[in-house]
Structure formats: structure tokens, C-alpha cells
Amino acid sequence: MPDPLRATGALQSSSILVTGGTGNLGREVVARLRRQGAHVRSLARHRAGPLPGVESVVGDLTDPAMARAALAGVDTVFLTWPLLESAPAHGLVEELVASAPRVIYLSSAAVDDEAARQSDPIVQVHADMEAVLHRAGLRPVVLRSDTLASNARGWAVQIKAGDVVAGPDIAGTAVVDERDVADAAVAALCARDDGPADRPYVLTGPEVLSRTDQIAELGAALQRRRLRFEAVPPDLARTRMLADGRPDRLVEALIAAAVHRPESHRVTDHVERLTGRPAGTFARWAIDHVTEFC
């Protein structure tokens, strides 16, 4: 049965703020909203090229004044929160309460509602943000996404250089195509009836994949190259990521996720509930993005 949040038509009168609008997921959401006919304001920390029909704003959600300006005249928000911001988002939440938009929050499928503390800092940020939004009475629609397929773009340099991809061996998850997450997000953003707001939607792909599985699928897409994944110890992974210029806090968060986040065997039909079609496979994603790895 279709979920009550499925979009029922174009919303030409809506004004929607998409935070992180130039990222891998955000730009997919922006493109779909434009096709729906909504007025879109895209917020990003850094200036990007102009997008036809999109109001682009440069700003930082952690600055309440910037958040207030970005929210002006907006009735719906697709909210992502910077993963390196461990401090509670009280300033932003106060602005959200004052402007009273509908909020669709992108969280993590790794959030454990029964745990006093989450497995790693990244998941803890999401759990804390969900709690802050609910306590403020905003009744957000929470979309908990599993690992995005687009994260595989981080292996492109190694794949172009050889047949071995080395990195920390993060536990397997039901990797989900960011295009499916974008479709689900747009269904929630454009819905006329929010339905129940007391339960999250958990967006997954159709199968649980390890790093080895993902690398093999990429190899198959690349004219059957024999790619292989090589797990490296946390200390070596940390050294390499720091040498690549990644921020210290991000590196530590990623290492903590690799070491402490448990494997997930959960596969849901929530993408289909929201969009009306099943989630796509990582193999399909790899074929569609093969040129990025050549």
C-alpha cells in the first residue's frame, strides 16, 4: 500500500529550503523539486555555479542569523546537519520554531533508539539532532538513510590507479542509491498529508553489501576488472586520510565508525512506500556512474 507521505502532485506554490543543496544528495533533491514545480532555495556553505530556476544562498546553519535569513518565506525545509558539528543545534531550532516550516530531517539508519549512546560520533550527531527537533515540538518527518552509494566516489582515485582499493573495513549495510533517497525526500517534501510523525522512515537498498561486495560490483561495471578490497588497520587508515587533507575531527569520526559501528542486516521497503517503486541496486548505480571511475 502506498505510504500517506507519497507526493500527490506538483506544488508550484511551495517554497522549499534544501540545506546542503550542492552535495551529492542535495543536488539530486533540488533537481527533482524543480521538476515538481516548487520554488527552491538551495543553501550551501560554499558558493557553486548558478542553477537555473533555483535561488542559491551561501550560509552556515550554525549561525542563527544566517539560518533566519535562509528560512525567510520558506514553508518546508529539507534539513541535513553538518556531521562535524557536535554541539546541539539550539540556535537553528529556535529559528525553525519561530518560522514554523515543515521539517524533513535526513538522519542515519544506524541510529539505535534503544541505546543510551550511539555507536560512533556521526550517528550520535544524528540521534541528538532528532531529539532536539522533537523536543522543540517541530514534529519532523525523519528519513534515516543507510550508507549512500555515492560514498563510493571516494574510491575513484584508487580505482583509476590500479586494481586494489584500500581502506578501513566498515561493517556491511544495505547501501542505498542517493537517487532513491532523493526521490523519497521529495515525496516527503511535496506531501500534502504528513501522516504519522512519530516514526522514522529507514531508507535502504535491496541487499546488504560489504566493502568487498561493492568493489566487486564496480569491477563488474568496469568491463569486468578484477578489483579487490584491501582492509587496512585503523592507524594506517587514519594516517592516510590525514595525509589526504581531511579534517582531523572527520577522520576520527570515520575511524570510530569503522571500528565501532555494528553490521546491519536490515533491509526495508520504505523507499517503495514513499516513491511507489523498489529501491535500486548498487550494481545499477555502478553501471550508471562507471565513467567516474575510468
Asked if the model's pLDDT at residue 282 lies above 70, the reply is yes
Q: How much is the pLDDT for 51?
A: 78
Q: Kindly state the average pLDDT of the residues 208-236.
A: 95
Residue 79 vs residues 50, 96, 173, 239: alpha-carbon distances, Å: 21, 11, 23, 32
The terminus-to-terminus CA distance of the chain in angstroms comes to 41
- pLDDT greater than 70 at residue 257: yes
pLDDT at position 62 over 90: no
Using pLDDT thresholds of 50, 70 and 90, give the confidence band for residue 10: very low
- Answer positive or negative: Cα dihedral of 277, 282, 284, 286: positive
Asked if the model's pLDDT at residue 75 lies above 80, the reply is yes
Q: What is the mean pLDDT of the chain?
A: 90
Domain spanning 15-145+178-203+267-279: CATH superfamily = NAD(P)-binding Rossmann-like Domain (3.40.50.720)
Q: Which of 183-192, 258-267, 271-280 is most confident?
A: 271-280
pLDDT at 220: 97
Distance, CA of 71 to CA of 168 (rounded, Å): 39
CA nearest 214: which of 202, 225, 228?
228
The reported pLDDT for the residue numbered 245 is: 87
Q: Tell me, what's the pLDDT at 197? A: 56
Each domain of the chain, given as residue ranges in start order, spans: 15-145+178-203+267-279
What is the pLDDT, as a whole number, of residue 86?
Answer: 57
**φ/ψ of residue 127, rounded to 5:** -60, -40
Mean pLDDT of 133-151: 95
Compute the average pLDDT of residues 189-212.
84
Examine the pLDDT at 49 and tell me if it is beyond 90. Answer: no
For the chain, what percent of residues have pLDDT higher than 70?
A: 91
Q: Tell me: the pLDDT tens digits for 91-116?
A: 899 999 999 889 999 999 999 999 99
Q: Binning pLDDT at 50, 70 and 90, where does residue 231 land?
A: very high
Residue 45 is predicted with a pLDDT of 84
**Between 243 and 272, where is the model more confident?**
272
5 contacts: CB under 8 Å, gap ≥ 6: 141, 187, 188, 191, 193, 194, 195, 201, 273, 274
> How far apart (Å, rounded) are the C-alpha atoms in residues 101 and 72?
10
Residue 274: per-residue pLDDT: 96
Give the lowest-confidence range in 7-16, 181-190, 205-214, 221-230. 7-16
From 72-76, 115-119, 248-252, 264-268, the region with the lowest mean pLDDT:
248-252
Check residue 165 and give its pLDDT.
95
